[in-house]
Amino acid sequence: MRPLGIPSYEDRLVQGVNYVMEEDNKGFFDNVDHDWLIKFLEHDIADKNVIGYIMRFLIAGVSEGTWLQDRTRARLKDDS
């Protein structure tokens, strides 16, 4: 056990790392391989209902005002 007040190498290393990382993940879920993502999540999520919901979220569109943005094109909500 080391005395208090004397920093170890690991303490100094953690204290010296100060940075901010910013990322733009717009379009991430459109570009990630959905099959791989589901297999990855199934390792930690045993409930098949939750996996089903995640699969639905991955293919769902986005509604903004009167526009529905699906995975292929934007259209008015009234359009079919």
Q: Could you report the per-residue pLDDT of 41-63, keeping only the tens digit for each?
A: 999 999 999 999 999 888 887 77
pTM as predicted: 0.52
Q: Which two tokens stand for residue 18?
A: 């100060």
Structure tokens that stand for 5 in this block: 């007040």
SS3 74: strand
For residue 63, report the phi and psi dihedrals to the nearest 5 degrees.
-105, 125
Instruction: Give residue 65's pLDDT.
Output: 78
Q: What is the pLDDT of residue 29?
A: 74
Q: Where are the domains of the chain?
A: 25-76
Cα distance between residue 56 and residue 44, in whole Å: 18
> Does 2 have pLDDT greater than 70?
no
Q: Are 30 and 69 within 8 A, CB to CB? A: no
pLDDT given at position 13:
64
**Secondary structure class of 25 (helix, strand, coil):** coil
* pLDDT exceeds cutoff 70 at 72: no
